[in-house]
């Protein structure tokens, strides 16, 4: 299977290179069919490539063409290089020929020949409640742990390898979750202290590594740093670090999956405040000429933000409840009073406390922001009303800026 990974990575990178260095003035870069023809030629010339499985290599090209076509919609952009140990994996196409049917139950026919379309499904055997097996070309039957009750009906599957763990993923797009039909709207405020504060008062936290686990990571990092170059001890220590960090990612993904399913099942409309996570986590490093300030602190905050899985939660909720997720512009959602609509910086007493300076409404700051998100409020500050007159006046800060400044009186020293 590691050989399959190496072959798939090699073929993918060849495709990336071919498209990266393509002279744009001439005709278009070769597509999937042309690349497959070139692959056959390459297999004839290269004994190492010829020893591998042709289907696995061809599927790498298929993956590449899919990624290339979806570069504007996938969110991943242009397909890039796959690195050893980092992006290890390969796709296997099913072998079981099964007739395909239309949605109304009639046999699906080829538009040109009129023959019934046959799909190639993956053969999966269930061994018991927890284990199943699947055929991988060149490896025979490979056992894997089931994470769902029913067996998958997929046309392809993908095997990936990272941090010493093998994973198998069947290519199925699950149906969306039905709305409960209660008309309930929930607002979600995402933060670093509380991962997701809901407008119904619940506070959900994404599990992090424990203090003990973090200490273990530091211990193994220290050992790796002290071990001699290219020694087995160094590799082993780095592997321990990678496994511990993978545990954190696993927990975060698990939490995001469970939480997004809960949101899609319980509420008709889910509102998130619109965050630009990419801008928020931009480095403060700056340039050599103009180094940034508080770089370490910003790096720590960035890590904390990325450890919350904000983007993943939003994305997965959208997948499960398409059309039922909205983005609310984020500015002022944390400064606006959810009771009277007054926007004032001084209302937010601390990280956790919100006391409205206008009406005295007291609330947890995150919950208050979640209420604003649920109401779809925030965005542009409303015209401020001066407390006594009741009329609409210009913002006080702007009017004070136009006032004549007091003249500085100098003392003349003789």
Q: Which residues bind Zn ion (CB under 5 A)?
A: 337, 339-340, 342, 356, 358-359, 361
Torsion of CA 302, 303, 305, 306, to 10 degrees: 110
Q: How far is the CB of 190 from Zn ion (least distance, A)?
A: 23
**Beta-carbon count within 10 A of 197 CB:** 26
φ and ψ of 147, to 5 deg: -110, 0
What pairs with residue 144 in β-bridges? 132
Nearer to Zn ion, 291 or 360 (CB): 360
- Nearer residue to Zn ion within complex by CB, 5 or 365: 365
In the complex, the smallest distance separating the C-beta of residue 356 from Zn ion, rounded to whole angstroms, is 3
Q: Least Å distance between CB 352 and Zn ion?
A: 17
Q: Evaluate whether 329 touches 274 at the Cβ level (below 8 Å).
A: yes
- When the beta carbons of 260 and 372 are compared against Zn ion, the nearer one is 372
Which residue lies nearer to Zn ion by CB, 327 or 353?
Answer: 353
Question: Between residues 111 and 346, which has the closer beta carbon with respect to Zn ion?
Answer: 346
Q: Cα–Cα distance between 5 and 57 in angstroms, integer? A: 9
Q: Minimum distance between the CB of residue 185 and Zn ion, rounded to whole angstroms?
A: 21
Q: Which one, 184 or 344, has the nearer CB to Zn ion?
A: 344
Of 4 and 336, CB closest to Zn ion: 336
Q: State how far the alpha carbon of 348 is from the alpha carbons of 205, 339, 351, 364, 392, in Å.
A: 22, 14, 7, 10, 23
Answer left, alpha or beta for residue 157, where phi above 0 means left and psi between -120 and 50 means alpha: beta
Tell me phi and psi for residue 245, to 5 degrees.
Answer: -70, -35
Q: Smallest distance from the beta carbon of 360 to Zn ion, in angstroms? A: 7
- The least distance separating Zn ion from the CB of residue 357, rounded to whole angstroms, comes to 8
Torsion angles phi and psi, residue 166, rounded to 5: -95, 140
Burial profile 141-159: b = 16 or more Cβ within 10 angstroms, e = fewer: eeebebeeeeebebebbbb
Distance CA 207, CA 196 (A): 12
Whole-number minimum distance, CB 372 to Zn ion, in Å? 11
């Amino acid at each position: 299977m590691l050989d399959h990974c190496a072959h798939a990575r090699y073929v993918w990178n060849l495709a990336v290179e071919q498209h990266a260095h393509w002279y744009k003035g001439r005709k278009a870069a070769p597509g999937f069919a042309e690349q497959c023809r070139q692959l056959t030629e390459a297999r004839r010339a290269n004994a190492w490539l010829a020893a591998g499985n042709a289907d696995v290599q061809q599927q790498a090209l298929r993956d590449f063409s899919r990624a290339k076509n979806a570069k504007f919609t996938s969110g991943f952009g242009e397909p890039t290089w796959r690195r050893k140990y980092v992006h290890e994996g390969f796709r296997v196409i099913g072998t079981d020929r099964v007739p395909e049917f239309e949605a109304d139950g009639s046999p699906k026919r080829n538009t040109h020949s009129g023959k019934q379309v046959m799909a190639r499904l993956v053969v999966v055997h269930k061994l018991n409640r927890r284990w199943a097996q699947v055929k991988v070309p060149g490896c025979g039957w490979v056992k894997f742990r089931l994470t769902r009750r029913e067996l998958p009906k997929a046309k392809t599957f993908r095997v990936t390898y990272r941090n010493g763990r093998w994973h198998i993923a069947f290519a199925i797009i699950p149906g969306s979750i039905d709305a409960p039909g209660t008309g309930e709207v929930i607002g979600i405020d995402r933060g670093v202290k509380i991962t997701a504060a809901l407008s119904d008062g619940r506070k959900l936290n994404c599990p992090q590594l424990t203090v003990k686990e973090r200490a273990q990571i530091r211990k193994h990092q220290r050992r790796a740093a002290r071990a001699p170059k290219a020694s087995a001890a160094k590799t082993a220590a780095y592997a321990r670090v990678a496994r511990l960090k993978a545990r954190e990612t696993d927990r975060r993904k698990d939490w995001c999956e469970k939480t997004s399913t809960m949101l899609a099942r319980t509420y008709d409309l889910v509102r998130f405040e619109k965050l630009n996570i990419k801008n928020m986590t931009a480095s403060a490093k700056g340039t050599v000429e103009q180094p940034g300030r508080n770089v370490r602190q910003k790096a720590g905050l960035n890590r904390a933000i990325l450890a919350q899985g904000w983007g993943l939660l939003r994305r997965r909720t959208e997948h499960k409840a398409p059309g039922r997720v909205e983005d609310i512009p984020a500015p002022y959602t944390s400064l606006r009073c959810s009771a009277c609509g007054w926007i004032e910086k001084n209302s937010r007493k601390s990280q956790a406390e919100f006391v409205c300076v206008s009406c005295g409404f007291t609330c947890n700051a995150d919950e208050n922001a979640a209420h604003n998100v649920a109401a779809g409020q925030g965005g542009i500050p409303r015209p401020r009303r001066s407390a006594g007159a009741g009329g609409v006046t210009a913002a006080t800060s702007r009017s004070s800026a136009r006032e004549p400044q007091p003249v500085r009186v100098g003392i003349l020293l003789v």
